[in-house]
Amino acid sequence: MSTGARGQHARVLDVLGLAITAGEHPPGSVLRTDELAERLGVSRSVMREAVRVLESMCLVESRRRVGVTVRPVEEWNVYDPQVIRWRLAGADRPHQLRSLTVLRSAVEPVAAGLAARNATPEQCAELTECALGMVATSRGGQLEGYLVHDIAFHRVVLNASGNEMFAHLGDLVAEVLAGRTHHRVMFEDPDPAAVTLHVQVAEAVRAGDAVRAEELTREITVGALRELDILAP
Amino acid sequence: MSTGARGQHARVLDVLGLAITAGEHPPGSVLRTDELAERLGVSRSVMREAVRVLESMCLVESRRRVGVTVRPVEEWNVYDPQVIRWRLAGADRPHQLRSLTVLRSAVEPVAAGLAARNATPEQCAELTECALGMVATSRGGQLEGYLVHDIAFHRVVLNASGNEMFAHLGDLVAEVLAGRTHHRVMFEDPDPAAVTLHVQVAEAVRAGDAVRAEELTREITVGALRELDILAP
DNA sequence: CGAACAAAAAGTCAGACTAATTAATCACAG
DNA sequence: CTGTGATTAATTAGTCTGACTTTTTGTTCG
């Protein structure tokens, strides 16, 4: 899925990035560009471009006479969408989902508060539509349909906040929600209380009630934290 | 300052990244790799590597037969430290600082709450030390010294939260604090109330009082928002 | 209006050469 | 004999060049 066949460069980048984030080539290990190029069957040009991109993500450091060194995890650009995708595809997916969910719990309530102040009428309408869609798909095992509306809902809130840093977390939230749905026991309908909360958030935003929108969204994210046992019940 | 003389690649990347984020080459404009290489006096290899990195930051899109197209701002990887540096160096620095400060106001209180639960004794000691350093430099125009302790303080809190996504915002917060100090009227000592709040946060974290740490940090960030007139006074 | 064709740009490859950095070697003084 | 400093050698990334391929788009012709 993540490997589109669009050119050698992307393919090689994906393979290497995945390998590094997956923990083979642990931090400190050194790779040689030429050897990698040969191993993956590409020219040095292509491999060099891939290494440069990995370097810009702080996954590796390239130094003369020594080679390409894998950097410690703490230095990786963990906000890079590609890095996030690689890590979600690997072994520390659970850990990654927890980190992202905690981030959500900090950001989304504030974003909802801002949305209540800044949302355009169009965005309010869109939000209500999403909430209604969630209600309509909340029963009878229509999990995929529910997911679509859920993702759209949170994306609209983040965009409506008017803050570009928040808006950019849309993909991230989508990733978390999708991950949650696809790793939960299927056939289990979403929590009715959560559905209600979404409807109420949409209403609060439309009414311009920032405090209420923030508080309701906080309840939603608290629920998400509880699902992962990050919070004590 | 951002342009170290470490190789052609880094130089070219910096020049191009700055130019794009500064708004010359507006979104939609198309550049040709060969022409750029010639203009900047480097070989195609080097230019191609730079373009690939810019592409991974979603600043540009490279397509056959058309060229390198500058993408709209909304698609840029705004969490990439390099992109942030470029934008802070450019004309929309004020806008950037506002966005980052709002992000801070969402993240730091939650991070402080987590820190109160997770901080090690060493981190608590470090935090207290930072707070004392802030007190010691809070009068008499020792703004640079104060800034150092302030940055260290917030960095420790973010690290102590135990969440890697929060920890990675340390550089970002440092950038914001430095920007604020250096653009404010010099010779103006920091708000005594803010200094007190930092001391109290350190104390709350040491005591393991998550709610109080969160609330106090929220007051700090609210103050930061007010400074930028994001909040009504 | 559709299909064949031509042009333009990025993508890929191969090879030669450069430069920086580390490691080994060797000479010399203590 | 040993430690230390400078010189040399080896290794790897960095850079450049030129040829060739592939994809996409615009054009032309049926």
Question: What's the pLDDT tens digit per position in B59-108?
Answer: 999 999 999 999 999 999 999 999 999 999 999 899 999 999 999 999 99
Indicate yes or no: strand C within 7 A of the C-beta of A182. Answer: no
Strands A67-70 and A30-31, bridge-based pairing: antiparallel
User: How far, rounded to the nearest angstrom, does the alpha carbon of residue B180 sit from its chain's CA centroid?
Assistant: 11
Structure tokens at B55: 């592409």
Q: Do B52 and A52 touch (CB under 8 A)?
A: yes
Whether A126 and A134 have beta carbons less than 8 Å apart is answered as no
Residue A117 pLDDT greater than 90, yes or no:
yes
Structural fold of domain A92-227 = Four Helix Bundle (Hemerythrin (Met), subunit A) (1.20.120)
pLDDT band at A1 (very low <50, low <70, confident <90, very high): very low
A36 lies within 8 A of chain B by CB? no
Residue A128 pLDDT greater than 80, yes or no:
yes
How far apart, in whole angstroms, are the C-alpha atoms of residue B111 and residue A229? 18
Q: Do A107 and B107 touch (CB under 8 A)?
A: yes
The CATH superfamily assigned to B93-227 is GntR ligand-binding domain-like (1.20.120.530)
Q: Which pLDDT score is estimated for B183?
A: 78
Which strand C nucleotides have any atom less than 7 A from protein CB atoms? 7-15, 19-22
Average pLDDT, chain B: 94
Indicate yes or no: strand D within 7 A of the C-beta of A139. Answer: no
User: By three-state DSSP, how is residue A60 classified?
Assistant: strand
Q: Quick one: how many helices (H) and strands (E) in chain B?
A: 11, 3
**Count of residues for chain A?**
233
Residue of A nearest to B55 (CA): A53
Per CATH, A7-75 and A92-227 having the same topology is answered no
Q: Which pLDDT score is estimated for A125?
A: 98
Mention the CATH class of domain A7-75.
mainly alpha
Which of the two residues, A230 and B208, has the higher pLDDT score? B208
Please, which residues bridge with residue A68 across strands? A31, A62
Contacts of B109 in chain A (CB under 8 A): 106
Q: How far is CA B1 from CA B63, B85, B91, B111, in A?
A: 33, 11, 17, 31
Domains of chain B, residue spans: 7-75, 93-227
Please, which residues bridge with residue A38 across strands? none
The predicted-structure confidence for B105-161, as pLDDT tens digits, reads as follows: 999 999 999 999 999 999 999 999 999 999 999 998 899 999 999 999 999 999 999
Contacts of B82 in chain A (CB under 8 A): 56
Q: Which pLDDT score is estimated for A2?
A: 45
Residue of A nearest to B14 (CA): A56
Give the helix/strand (H/E) hosting A70: strand A67-70
Q: How far apart are the first and last CA of chain B?
A: 37
Separation between the CA of A1 and the C1’ of D24 (whole angstroms): 24
CB-facing half-sphere around the CA of B59: CA atoms within 13 A = 28
Q: How would you class B137 by CB atoms within 10 Å of its CB: exposed for 0-12, middle for 13-18, buried for 19 or more?
A: buried
Residue of B nearest to A49 (CA): B49
Q: Which pLDDT score is estimated for B5?
A: 60
The predicted-structure confidence for B29-56, as pLDDT tens digits, reads as follows: 999 999 999 999 999 999 999 999 999 9
User: By three-state DSSP, how is residue B28 classified?
Assistant: coil
